[in-house]
């Protein structure tokens, strides 16, 4: 099979390897590749596919990296891959390098391979994909499309994807256009047969049906956010297109159309507004929430920068708002199609002046769904913006997670909103009075009562009755009440999660968001090395007491972050008054999703030093 000397053969492995596809952007490979991953999911095998795509529409290299792990490790593994499916001549040189010794380089051998690309420690397996496609289809567009389906068919033979799983996906996909089913299945079969013809035996990398995916689903974080907003009762979504957040609004619209159209009248019990920019989008969200409708926007870094002034208004005027920031690599335009967790500081301290914002950190699509729904309760309860920090990795890749759940007995927490009867009972309504001592005042919505409850909302200082004043005392009282409210906040926020807890462990790892999978995998590795560690996953800011308690309990504490500046650490240090020297950082910020290998490398110096010493570790991208 290999064009040069014989490399070593990989040990046969089942359900534990990485396949990477090298494609051309815009060539339609996405659906074929996703069919590949989904088939593995349906075989009950844990699988985590990730797109590595360019900020470009057509013609640039794009990759799809699929990790298969019977152990259920869903983080990026990193390092070289066992099988490279090369369908892009442009990136071939780099792709050859990415194969591990003994691994396989599957390519289109319609044209000869450049001899410069030949390594003698890997296997080259060629199939004349172009030739096969061209001799089976005339239309050039169909050729382009079906070439992708064909290589999936070939892989079915080579690594043992159940053909029926693929067929099932085809029929589901084209359920509404059944005439398309047959040609797709034939294309798969064609690939399968041609591979079988060319290669006497399958690869030592094999898939075998498992049962790990019961009660699991496979979906993208952004779609889950959109669905969460539907369940959470959002009626107004105002947004401006920006990668990687666009599919949040699209997801909301898709699900709302499905679930929220009045069957009798055909009217929409929701509104989606494509704004003219992010300033306008957040303005609309604030206007709608001010008027008592649950409303949200989704954006990415540049949008968050533009929304600063409005976020300050909402903080100070105490208007609920939900903002989903699907983080990408910053700063400035950064790398729009790469992931990062680097909008933490600008979100937490959004706006000029003294201001602080609620943050949520989901780690899985399920949490995207749940925390989005929760965000509306939290925003209404606390009368302040809630910023959910997700990221491109979570938002734009399909992830396996537990199936989504909803408790029908749950009801929306609309917070302290007074209706007409409530107002009747009140002598004088004080919009900014701290009646309950929790820092949260009562609010009213326009049109509630003919005589009572109206007030003038503004971003400038006013007294407890919303009467304009420039008195320093009134201003200070208000700012202090906002601090009381801040102290109340954790009560309404999700608690941090300790997944591993052993009093004997002196090392504690703090993480949040999409570092979850890689961190858990690392903890397994550490366990095996005889250096077990505990972990705490933070889900919200401001932090609850649990975070401080966790830090206090461990001699060494490491925070895993996907940014350069250790931004979450800054929040912990500032808000919990923790000595920064107590906290080590593992920082990853090259735009790729973090992997267990990288965390392990990052931990190295920390594992070797005595407790209490500070280390901040960044390392090269792998």
Ligand X SMILES: Cc1ncc(C[n+]2csc(CCOP(=O)(O)OP(=O)(O)O)c2C)c(N)n1
Q: How far is the CB of 352 from ligand X (least distance, A)?
A: 10
For residue 347, state whether it binds another protein (rule: CB under 8 A): no
- Rounded Cα gap, residues 600 and 300, in angstroms: 29
Q: How far is the CB of 524 from ligand SF4 (least distance, A)?
A: 44
The DSSP output letter for 243 is: T
Three-class SS state of 290: helix
For residue 90, state whether it binds a second copy (rule: CB under 8 A): no
Q: Is the dihedral of CA 257, 261, 264, 266 positive or negative?
A: negative
For residue 557, state whether it binds another protein (rule: CB under 8 A): no
564, interface contact from ligand X, a second copy, ligand SF4, none, CB < 5-8 Å by kind: a second copy
454, interface contact from another protein, ligand SF4, ligand X, none, CB < 5-8 Å by kind: another protein
Per-residue b or e along 93-132, where b marks 16 or more CB atoms closer than 10 Å to that residue's CB: eebbebbbeebbbbbbbeeebeeebebeebbbbbbebbeb
* Binding characters for ligand X, 231-270, by CB under 6 A (x = yes): ---------xxx----------------------------
Helix axes 29-42 and 163-173, enclosed angle (nearest 10): 120
Q: How far is the CB of 255 from another protein (least distance, A)?
A: 8
Pairing of strands 236-239, 540-541: unpaired
In the numeric block, the tokens 């369908």 are attached to 87
CA distances from 457 to 63, 156, 349 (A): 50, 63, 22
6 to 65, contacts with a second copy by CB under 8 A? 54-55
Among 12, 57, 263, 450, binds ligand SF4 (CB under 6 A): 57
Q: How far is the CB of 319 from a second copy (least distance, A)?
A: 11
Three-class SS state of 105: strand
Contacts of 189 (CB under 8 A, 6+ apart): 153, 163
Among 254, 565, 607, 617, binds a second copy (CB under 8 A): 565
- Rounded Cα gap, residues 511 and 418, in angstroms: 39
614, interface contact from ligand SF4, another protein, a second copy, none, CB < 5-8 Å by kind: a second copy
Q: How far is the CB of 325 from another protein (least distance, A)?
A: 16
For residue 468, state whether it binds another protein (rule: CB under 8 A): yes
Pairing of strands 616-618, 583-587: parallel
486 to 525, contacts with another protein by CB under 8 A? none
* Binding characters for ligand X, 563-602, by CB under 6 A (x = yes): ----------------------------------------
CB-nearer residue toward ligand X: 302 or 591 = 302
5, interface contact from ligand X, a second copy, another protein, none, CB < 5-8 Å by kind: none
The DSSP output letter for 620 is: -
* Binding characters for a second copy, 574-603, by CB under 8 A (x = yes): x--xxxxx-------xxxx-----------
The DSSP output letter for 158 is: I
Name the β-bridge partners of 349. none
- Rounded Cα gap, residues 297 and 284, in angstroms: 9
Residues near ligand SF4, by CB under 6 A: 57-58
Residues lying near ligand X in the complex (CB under 6 A) are found at 240-242, 278, 302-303, 306, 333
């Amino acid at each position: 099979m290999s064009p040069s000397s014989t490399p070593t053969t990989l040990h046969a492995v089942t359900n534990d390897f990485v396949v990477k596809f090298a494609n051309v952007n815009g060539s339609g490979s996405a659906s074929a590749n996703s069919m590949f991953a989904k088939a593995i999911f349906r075989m009950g095998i844990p699988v985590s596919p990730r797109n590595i795509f360019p900020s470009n529409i057509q013609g640039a290299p794009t990759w799809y990296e699929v990790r298969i792990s019977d152990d259920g490790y869903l983080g990026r593994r990193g390092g070289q891959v066992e099988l490279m499916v090369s369908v892009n001549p442009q990136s071939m040189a780099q792709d050859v390098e990415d194969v591990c010794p003994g691994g396989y380089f599957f390519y289109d051998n319609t044209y000869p391979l450049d001899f410069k690309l030949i390594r003698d420690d890997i296997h080259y397996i060629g199939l004349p994909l172009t030739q096969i496609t061209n001799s089976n289809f005339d239309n050039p567009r169909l050729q382009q499309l079906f070439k992708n389906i064909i290589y999936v068919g070939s892989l079915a033979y080579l690594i043992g994807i159940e053909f029926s799983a693929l067929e099932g996906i085809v029929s589901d996909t084209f359920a509404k256009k059944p005439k398309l089913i047959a040609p797709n299945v034939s294309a798969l079969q064609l690939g399968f047969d041609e591979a079988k013809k060319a290669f006497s035996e399958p690869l030592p990398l094999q898939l075998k049906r498992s049962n790990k995916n019961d009660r699991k689903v496979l979906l993208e974080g952004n779609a889950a956010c959109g669905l969460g907003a539907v369940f959470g009762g959002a009626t107004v979504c105002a947004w401006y297109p920006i990668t990687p957040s666009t599919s949040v609004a699209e997801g909301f619209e898709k699900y709302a159309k499905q679930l929220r159209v009045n069957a009798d009248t055909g009217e929409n019990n929701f509104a989606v507004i494509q704004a003219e920019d992010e300033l306008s989008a957040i303005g609309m969200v604030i206007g709608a929430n001010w008027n008592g409708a649950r409303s949200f926007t989704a954006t990415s870094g540049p949008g968050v920068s533009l929304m600063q002034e409005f976020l300050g208004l909402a903080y100070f005027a105490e208007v609920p708002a939900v903002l989903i920031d699907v983080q990408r690599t910053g700063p400035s335009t950064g790398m729009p199609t790469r992931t990062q967790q680097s909008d933490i500081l600008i979100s937490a301290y959004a706006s000029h002046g003294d201001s602080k914002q609620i943050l949520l950190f989901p780690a899985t699509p399920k949490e995207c769904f749940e925390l989005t729904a929760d965000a509306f309760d939290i925003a209404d309860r606390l009368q302040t913006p809630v910023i959910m920090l997700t990221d491109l990795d979570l938002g734009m890749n399909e992830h396996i997670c537990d199936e989504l759940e909803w408790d029908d007995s749950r009801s929306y927490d609309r917070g302290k909103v007074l209706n007409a009867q409530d107002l009747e009972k009140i002598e004088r309504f004080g919009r900014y009075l701290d009646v309950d001592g929790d820092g949260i005042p009562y609010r009213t919505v326009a049109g509630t009562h003919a005589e009572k409850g109206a007030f003038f909302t503004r971003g400038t200082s006013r007294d407890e009755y919303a009467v304009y004043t420039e008195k320093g005392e009134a201003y200070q009282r208000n700012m202090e009440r906002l601090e009381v409210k801040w102290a109340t906040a954790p009560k309404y926020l999700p608690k941090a999660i300790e997944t591993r807890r052993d009093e004997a462990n002196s090392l504690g790892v703090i993480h949040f968001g999409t570092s979850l999978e890689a961190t858990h995998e690392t903890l397994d590795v550490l366990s095996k090395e005889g250096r077990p560690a505990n972990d705490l996953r933070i889900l919200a800011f401001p932090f609850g007491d649990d975070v401080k308690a966790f830090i206090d309990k461990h001699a060494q504490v490491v925070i895993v972050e996907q940014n350069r500046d250790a931004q979450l650490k800054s929040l912990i240090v500032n808000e919990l008054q923790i000595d920064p020297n107590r906290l080590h950082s593992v920082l990853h910020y090259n735009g790729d999703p973090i992997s267990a290998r990288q965390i392990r490398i990052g931990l190295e110096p920390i594992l070797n030093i005595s407790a209490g010493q500070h280390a901040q570790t960044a390392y090269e991208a792998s």
